[in-house]
Amino acid sequence: MPKFTDFIKNKTFDLNFKPAGIILFLVFVAIVAFLLSTKFLSQDLFNNGVAKKKIIAKKTIEVVDNQKTELLKRDAVRKIKSVIIPVDSNKVLTAFYSLRDGLLSIKNEDTDKQSKYIEFSNILDVTNPEKKEAAVNFAINSSKSSFAAIIQSSEIALKKFLKQGMNDGEIESYTSDYAIRSALGTNLTRGQLDIISSILECSILPNLYIDEQATDIVKKNARNLVKPYTVVFHKGDVIIKPDEVATQVKIDALKKSGYSVFEMNKSGVSGIFLFTFLCGIFLVAFIKFKGRKYNDPRYFMILGLLYILLTFMCVEISSNNDVSNYFMPIPAFTIIMAVFTTPVIAFVTTVIFIALISSCLFLEPQFVSVFIFGALASVYFVSRISYSRRQDLVTCGLWTGIFMGVFILTLGLFESQFTMSDFRILLIMASCALANGILSGIISLGIIPIFESTFKAITPYGLIELADYNSKSSLLRTLQQKAPGTYHHSLMVSNLCEAAAEAIGADSILAKVGALYHDIGKLQKPFFFIENQSYFGVENPHNKLNPRLSKMVIISHTKDGVELAKKNGLPQEIINFIQQHHGEALAGHFYNQAVQLEGKENVQQDQFRYSGPKPNMKETAILMLADAVESAVRSLKNPAADEIENMINKIITERLNDGQLSDSPLTLKDIKLIAITFNRILRGMQHDRIKYQEGVINELNDGRIVLGQSEEEKLERKIQKKIEENKDKTVNGSEEDEDKSSN
């Protein structure tokens, strides 16, 4: 994979837009930007907010008057009284009794008036200085009995006030003359009113408190219980008249009738176009940066078409107040892209799309969070499905919907005041997300085959179907019938390619299926290839041909394979395997024959090389190595483990030195893992076999010797011993080879 520094230096990365590609890119940007700009476009209905013409409803329209609804909600809230919580009144009486005892104690003291004045002034700490002065003078000058009666009257008034209930905002009113006269009667002098008011002010405390949280909940419930105020325009009613000022209700009714009621906003349209253009550039750059495999017009066409379709659906859903935004089929887009490309590409393209529509359609942050994590869930579940069953896409969509629904409920817990009405709303949104996930799976199930056939783009599903031997039109069935040796060789190579691709993180399914088809060109002249000659018992025709003619026949199997693949409609991804599995390698056997016949100075290597191109993908590079290694190891007779390992290393070294892997993205670490994997699998294929005493067995079979019971038992024991010896040898040899491989 290219590094980001290469992306900056422009060495391994180049956009290289062709004129046709630039035109298609600009068309894509223009279409998406136009769809997102519909709210900024106008049908010239108004002039400075005044209607230019009469518009009649063509169908019955029901519109919510949001302004009227809000007024009704505010009125409902205003009618709600605060939730009051009573507290223990004994605390207030205790404070009063303490004050009472203090006043009576001062009154009963045998001191001068000046001392009592100071003490009464300290204990009667009221805010109004005039009232305080009058109260202190009354306390000094009144008789003890009169003063005691005043204190008793204060207690009576206080108990009446406590019984009625007092909150914090009403305390001051209970110390007024009006409240005292209402509680005790109207024959109270000015001095008596002042002393009672001062005593109450010093001792009175609220015994009712407002529960702010409970009050807010009640008000919120009252708002939620108010039904939206709706205005109905029946079919044939006039929605708006000429020269009539457009209210929000009128505008909403026109929108529901299909009119675009916004005046042209040039800056808004320009901003959306520029933002879409930048997103498109980033998408193309990212896909090209990810490697050559998806740097193909077909994948860009699929991405562009999906973006356009999804943008249209999202704009329609966002403009419809009756449909939740959580029905936007963004998970379907993610699933389809993950199947056609990779989970990483699918996730990045989805995030860019979410950023684009959320910015242009002014969607809430919660929506962005839910769908980004939904995209993560989608790519995870797609990577876990079995590509042998297409219906697993629906299951993937179901799990994505469940994940999104749970995430919506989780975000709802962030609310500071969570009520049952809020929970019901969250359940509705979560249900919409769940339904969206299931629908996205169904949409993906239907769209992927259409895109596969339309754009000739391969997916793991298509690859699995290509590998189906039982298909009536399968080239593999034909290959087995007409070139059974080549078919068997392809099976062995496909196993090697699949295991090696898994080991280095390449596309194992593509590697396996490409290997199955890589030699179909041998169907044209199957007898000219040695693996088929033994099956049909024919003489090697190359014994009668000039090395140059033999070379032409052998090398042409790649060209014949490409023609046969195109004739049978195989995708380009499989054709790449047919073209590249020999690269520009040398047909060494026939080159050496030609050198012996003509002399080295008369033979050029370039005349005996395959036409290429060299492998430019990990998967095709693996095939080149697996094809050569399998053939070479098969040519060995009863090879030991070290012979297999040496042959693998020799083949890989030759391909490296010959420059056949120079265009592939394989690293040295990848090549090491490939060699280890080849060694492990080929040792399993070429396992040791027990060697019996052929002379004795032949004589037994011919009937030349007849053994008695004891002799038979002796021979049986001897053979069993030989079996055990070979078994131990095989196990020990395998362990030694494993140690060598690991080292």
Mean pLDDT of 202-220: 76
Contact present, 350 and 440 (Cβ < 8 Å) = no
Q: How far apart are CA 359 and CA 438, in angstroms?
A: 26
Cα–Cα distances (Å) from 233 to 133, 237, 253, in that order, read: 73, 6, 8
Distance CA 2, CA 96 (A): 86
Question: With bands split at pLDDT 50, 70 and 90, how would you rate the model's confidence at 109?
Answer: confident
Place of tokens 């590998």: 467
For residue 703, give the 3-state DSSP assignment.
coil
pLDDT at residue 167 greater than cutoff 50: yes
| pLDDT bucket at 731, cuts 50 / 70 / 90 | very low
Beta-sheet pairing, 61-64 with 84-86:
unpaired
| Pairing verdict, β 84-86 and 238-240 | unpaired
- How far is it, in rounded angstroms, from Cα 256 to Cα 254? 5
Specify the 3-state DSSP secondary structure of 46. Answer: strand
Q: Where are the alpha helices (DSSP H) in 165-296?
A: 177-184, 190-203, 212-225, 248-256, 266-289
pLDDT of 618 above 90 = yes
Task: For residue 443, count other CB atoms closer than 10 A to its CB.
Answer: 21
Span 77-107, pLDDT tens digits: 888 877 666 666 777 777 778 878 888 888 7
CB 454 within 8 A of CB 462: no
- Residue 358 in this model has a pLDDT that exceeds 70: yes
Whole-Å CA distances, 671 to 623, 652, 656, 665, 742: 12, 8, 10, 11, 15
DSSP 89: T
396: its two tokens: 């993937």
Q: How far apart are CA 61 and CA 67, in angstroms?
A: 18
In the block, tokens 């396996």 appear at 512
Q: Is the peptide bond before 526 cis (omega within 30 degrees of 0)?
A: no
pLDDT score of 726 more than 60: no
Task: Note the pLDDT of residue 164.
Answer: 75
Q: Distance between CA 565 and CA 725 in Å, rounded?
A: 51
Handedness of CA 701, 706, 707, 709 (dihedral sign): positive
Q: How far apart are the first and last CA of the chain?
A: 27
DSSP class per residue in 313-367? HHHHHHH-TTS-GGG--HHHHHHHHHHHS-HHHHHHHHHHHHHHHHHHTT--HHH
In angstroms, rounded to a whole number, what is the distance separating the alpha carbons of residues 403 and 98?
65
Q: What is the Cα–Cα distance from 370 to 568, expressed in whole angstroms?
A: 45
What's the length of the chain? 743
- Exposure pattern of 480-509 as b/e (b: 16+ CB <10 Å)? bebbbbbbbbbbbbbbbbbbbbbbbebbbb
Distance CA 315, CA 219 (A): 35
Cα of 626 vs its chain's centroid, Å: 36
Q: With contact defined as beta carbons under 8 Å apart, do 636 and 646 qualify?
A: no
Residues 713, 392: Cα–Cα separation, whole Å:
59
Listed in order, strand segments (DSSP E) in 657-733 are none
pLDDT tens readout for residues 223-269: 888 888 888 888 778 888 888 887 888 877 877 765 655 555 566 67
CB proximity list for 13: less than 8 A, separation 6 or greater = 2, 6, 7, 288, 289
Residue with token string 């290839």: 529
25/265: higher pLDDT:
25
Q: Is the peptide bond before 615 cis (omega within 30 degrees of 0)?
A: no
Radius of gyration of the CA atoms of the chain, in A = 46
Mean pLDDT is lowest, of 330-339, 494-503, 557-566, 598-607, for: 598-607
**What is the pLDDT, as a whole number, of residue 692?**
46
434-477 pLDDT, tens digit per residue, is: 999 999 999 999 999 999 888 888 888 888 888 887 765 578 88
* Half-sphere exposure of residue 186: CA atoms within 13 angstroms, side-chain side: 0
Q: Are 76 and 222 in contact (CB under 8 A)?
A: yes
For residues 646 and 741, the answer to whether their CB atoms sit within 8 Å is no
Task: Retrieve residue 124's tokens.
Answer: 């009667």
Handedness of CA 510, 516, 519, 524 (dihedral sign): negative
- Pairing relation of β-strands 238-240 and 55-56? antiparallel
At residue 330, the pLDDT reads: 95
What percent helix, strand, coil does the chain show, rounded to 5?
Answer: 70, 5, 25
Strand pairing category for 230-233 and 50-51: unpaired
Cα separation, 127 vs 344, in Å, equals 74
Contact 331, 367 (CB under 8 A): no
User: CATH classification of 489-685, choosing from 3.80.10, 3.30.300, 3.40.50, 1.10.3210?
Assistant: 1.10.3210
- Please tell me the distance from the alpha carbon of residue 647 to that of residue 624, in angstroms, as a whole number: 15
Q: What is the pLDDT of residues 39-82, one digit of tens each?
A: 556 555 666 777 777 777 767 788 888 888 888 888 888 888 77
| Closest to 562 measured CA to CA, from 607, 631, 611 | 611
